[in-house]
Amino acid sequence: MPQLLIELRNVTKRFGQRLAVDQLSLQVERGEIHGLLGHNGAGKSTAIGIMLGQVWPTAGDVIVRGADVIAQRSTALARVGAIFEGPSFYDYLSGRRNLEILSSYSAATPQARLDEVIGWVGLRGREESKVSTYSHGMRARLALAQALLPNPELLILDEPSDGLDPEGIHEMRQTILRLHNELGLTILFSSHLLTEVEQICNRITVIRQGQKVFGGKLSDAQIEKGWVRLNVDDFERATQLLQAKGWLDGKVNEPLIVLDPVASTADVVRLLVEAGISVFEIARHEETLEEFYLSLMKGMSRKAP
């Protein structure tokens, strides 16, 4: 049983002259909820398309469930479910018929299993209605049902909350957590909604212009060790003084600094006050995911393991 359910190794994808994914390496371990973050056009959907064998990589290896997606597609995708942004169905057919059709491309699915999944997602009573009569929320549930039918161990969700109202987003979040907790699914979750990622994921990968700019635990992203918030009346002179003293390791992004471990905050305050600089605040900085994400998008350097 492979421990890594998704492994991208130096994957590159070009569409003509445009580089959509650039040397992307990504690992999703069994049992985690992994968030994939990035702005529009960053390459998230392309990366997901590559993982599902819908988009051919220009270079690199794509391993899903221990098998190469291109060479061993049937093994790699046998127990993978996926939901895309704005899921599409055969609107002129019933929900049940849609599930029968979509599941037939994975494996023969007994009616009992269909009933079980329909019940699980809360569509019982409406499964015989045409999909054209479904609300956004019901379509999202149907999308979830079709993803669950192959009895997946890996679920890939590409912007699943897109187009849902706040109630629907809340419901989707709870469902994802249920899937993880009750069914033990490993989930790759791509979203623009940082609060969703913050509440659901335990690891994240951030992509900018096709490149990975951060990969790691969510807790690492939220508490960047060493960052200190320094509010003073003359930030520039303060950093010069700290630099001269050798207490600054070089990273500065007003009002944030990174102190050398030898320097305590008490030493810093004493130095600045003696130099006539008013110190209003000095504290260890904990970023929200939003701040962290925005700083990455602005191009601040971060470790990308």
Partner 1 sequence: MFFLQLRSELWKLFGKKRTYIGFGMFLIAQNAMLLAFHLSHWQADLSRMLEVNGYLAAEYVSALTVAVIMLLPQNVLLMPLYTSLIGGDLVAKEVEDGTLRMILCRPISRFRLMFLKWLSGIIFAAVLVLSLGAMALFFARFWFPWKDMFVFAPGLVFNILGTGEGLRLFVFSQLFLVVNATVILSIAFMFSSFNMKPAAATILALSYLFLNLVIESIPFFERYQHWFLPYHFRSWLMVFANPTPWARIAESQCILIAAATTTFIIGATAFQMRDIKS
Residues that bind partner 1 (CB under 8 A): 15, 45-46, 49, 52-56, 73-78, 80-82, 84-90, 92-93, 97, 100-102, 104-108, 146, 150, 156
Q: Say if CB 288 and CB 197 are below 8 A apart.
A: no
- State how far Cα 256 lies from the chain centre: 26
Report how far residue 236's alpha carbon sits from residue 277's, in angstroms, rounded to the nearest whole number: 11
- Smaller CB distance to partner 1: residue 52 or 272? 52
Which of 36, 38, 51, 83 shows the shortest CA–CA distance to 218?
36
Report how far residue 210's alpha carbon sits from residue 82's, in angstroms, rounded to the nearest whole number: 21
- Smaller CB distance to partner 1: residue 146 or 161? 146
Can you list the alpha helix ranges (DSSP code H) found in 60-192? 73-77, 95-104, 111-121, 136-148, 166-182
- State how far Cα 263 lies from the chain centre: 36
Q: What is the DSSP letter of 168?
A: H
Report how far residue 121's alpha carbon sits from residue 291's, in angstroms, rounded to the nearest whole number: 34
